[in-house]
Amino acid sequence: MGLFGERRAFLEKLSDADRQALSGLGHRRDYAPQEQLLGEGESGTSVLVILGGWCTVWRSTERGRLILALRQGGELVGEMAALDGRPRSATVTALDEVRALAVPGDRFRHFMAARPYVSALVMAQLTERLRSADDQRSSLASATVLERLAACLVELADRTGRRESDAVVIRLPLSQHEIAAAIGATREAVAKALRLLREQGLVHTGPKVIAVADLEPLRLLGGAGAPHGTGTRTAHNGARSARGRRPGV
C-alpha cells in the first residue's frame, strides 16, 4: 500500500550537528489528537519536522477522505510547498499527541542549499513517496477491499507491529473509518472484511488494536507474497480459503 516513508526517517540520517542546526531554525509546536497541522490548498510554505507522535496525510475526494500516508517522528511534512511555492497538496492531521518543529520555508531551503547531501535526502524521500502513490493508485484500480485491507495490515504489522505471545500486535490510534480511508473503502466494507479475517482466525481486533495471528496468508492475499520459505503451504491454504469467502466488496 505504501502508507509509510523510508525505514530510516529524515532526522535519523542527519548528523548531530545538522540536527542541532535545523532545530535552531524553527519553533516547536504541540498538536492534540485530530488537530490539523497543515491544510490542503493553504498557501503556507513552512516545513514541519515531526518530533513525536503519528499523523495522517490525506486528501478530500468525491467519496470522502483518502489517507495517502502515515507519518511519524523524524519525518518531514510540508516540504513540497516549501520547494515549489504552490498551495499545500494535502491535509496533515494528528492521530495522537504530536510534537513538531515548524521551520519557515526560506530557512529550510537555505539549510538544504548549504548541505547538498540534505538536498539529496529530500529528493530521495520525494521519489519514494511518488512511487508509493503509484502503488496506491494501482491497488485502488485493481484490488478488492479484502485484498487492499490484507496489504494494509501486512504493512502496518511489518512497520509498527510488536510480537506478543502468538501474534503480531498493531497498536496505532487508527479507527475503522481511518483504515477505510487508507484503502479507499467504506467503513462498512472494512468491517465486513475484518469480520471475514476474524472468522478465518487470521486477526483479532479490539479498540485501536489489531492482533495478526498469521501474516503469511495476508501477504499472499494482499499480493506481497511470502518472504520466507517456511509455512508457505499453510499460508496458501489460508489465503485461498479467505478468497473463497471474500465479501462482495
- Read off the amino acid at residue 248: G
Domain check: are 127 and 72 in the same one? yes
243 pLDDT above the threshold of 50: no
Q: How many domains does the chain have?
A: 2
Domain check: are 148 and 188 in the same one? yes
Domain with 78 in it: what CATH number? 2.60.120.10
19 pLDDT above the threshold of 80: yes
CA–CA separation, 122 vs 26, rounded Å?
18
The verdict on residue 202 lying in a domain is: yes
> Considering the chain, what is the average pLDDT of its residues?
87
DSSP secondary structure letter of residue 189: H
pLDDT in tens, 131-144: 877 777 777 777 89
pLDDT in tens, 114-136: 999 999 999 988 888 888 777 77
Find the mean pLDDT for residues 168-194: 94
Domain with 180 in it: what CATH number? 1.10.10.10
Q: Where is pLDDT greater, at 5 or 213?
A: 213
